[in-house]
Copies of this chain bind each other. A is one copy, B any other.
């Protein structure tokens, strides 16, 4: 398949690499020294997002945030300038579910198809082609994209119509962020009250408090090591998507909002580039326990 790939960052590079490895002709946007290896293994450097769209049947986006998607799709020499009827745009970035519906409508007006398909699993999942992919769009478009998804991910779900993938991703980030905060409050409580957080965590594994977060991020909190992983900065962006969408929807998300505020504090205290398990350091500071 002729596939365009726009967004060759930490996630996009290995994802595009898997597509090349599967034998697809992959047109690459903004190749830099760090992504030159993709050209060496057979990818084709393009001059603009427009050229990527002109040469590809399917255009994949993997960029940081909502304004980046808008600029790449509809800016000067953007994707929309290069599209022709029948092509498929897949946005794998994590962006606003509300904006996604608008972008999809504008792409469909050009006679093209649109899927949102954000991922979770991080850099490790991208490198191992083991991403969780949450898609929104028409079933037929999802099936057309399936071979590409299968090259990059393991758990692949069509959640619903356009936007549903982004909704699921935001829901995922709400649960992950708030569960990290929950574990952080519990372990800080244990420590301040005079118990060993490591033994408390062990006593709680296997019961209703058990989760991937208690297992993985709880261990990081016990060890006090916060190499990312997924940075607090990026998680704050994702909770901002939740809070912004909540306002647009007249929806109250009390502990999502509180956790976003605590991420603001973590960043103010210089912890923005730590793994999100490092949120516990903010609580420790509030408790006079900062290491």
Residues of A at the B interface (CB closer than 8 Å) are 97, 120-121, 132, 134, 136, 155, 157, 159-161, 163-164, 167-168, 170-172, 174-179, 181-183, 185-190, 192-196, 199-200, 202-204, 206-214, 216, 242, 245-246, 249-256, 258-259, 261-262, 283, 286-288
- How far in angstroms is the closest Cβ of chain B from A94? 13
Contact between B194 and A186, CB atoms less than 8 A apart: no
Q: How far does the alpha carbon of A183 sit from the alpha carbon of B178 in the complex, in Å?
A: 9
B188 touches A251 (CB 8 A): yes
Q: Pick from B97, B178, B288: contact of A178, CB below 8 A.
A: B178
How often does this chain occur in the complex, in copies? 2
Whether A255 contacts B189 in the complex (CB less than 8 A), given A157-B202, A195-B168, A199-B157, comes out as no
Q: A255: which B residues are within 8 A, CB to CB? A: 178, 181-182, 185, 255, 258-259, 262
Contact, CB under 8 Å: B249 / A207: no
Q: Is the CB of B250 within 8 A of A287?
A: yes
A-B contact list, 6 entries, CB within 8 Å: A121-B207, A168-B204, A172-B209, A210-B211, A255-B258, A255-B259
Q: Which residues of B contact A170 (CB under 8 A)?
A: 186, 189, 193
Q: How far is the CA of A121 from the CA of B203 in the complex (A)?
A: 13
User: Contact partner of A167 among B183, B189, B209, CB < 8 A?
Assistant: B189
Q: How far is the CB of A147 from chain B (nearest CB, A)?
A: 20
Q: Which residues of B contact A206 (CB under 8 A)?
A: 132, 155
Would you call B189 and A175 a contact (CB within 8 A)?
Answer: no
Is chain A's interface secondary structure helix, strand, loop, or mixed overall? helix
Docked CA distance A209–B172 (Å):
6
Bound Cα distance A157, B202 (Å) = 8
* A189-B168 Cα distance, complex, nearest whole Å: 9
Q: How far is the CB of A144 from chain B (nearest CB, A)?
A: 20
Task: Give every chain B residue within 8 A of A208 (Cβ-Cβ).
Answer: 120, 172, 176, 212-213, 216
B207 and A190 contact, CB distance less than 8 A: no
- B160, A195: Cβ atoms under 8 Å? yes
Report A99 CB to chain B, min CB distance, Å. 12
Point out the residue from B175, B186, B200 that lies within 8 Å of A204, measured CB to CB. B175
- Neighbouring B residues of A136 by C-beta, 8 Å: 195
Q: Which residues of chain B are near A190, meaning CB under 8 Å?
A: 167-168, 171
Chain B's closest residue to A206 (CB) is: B155
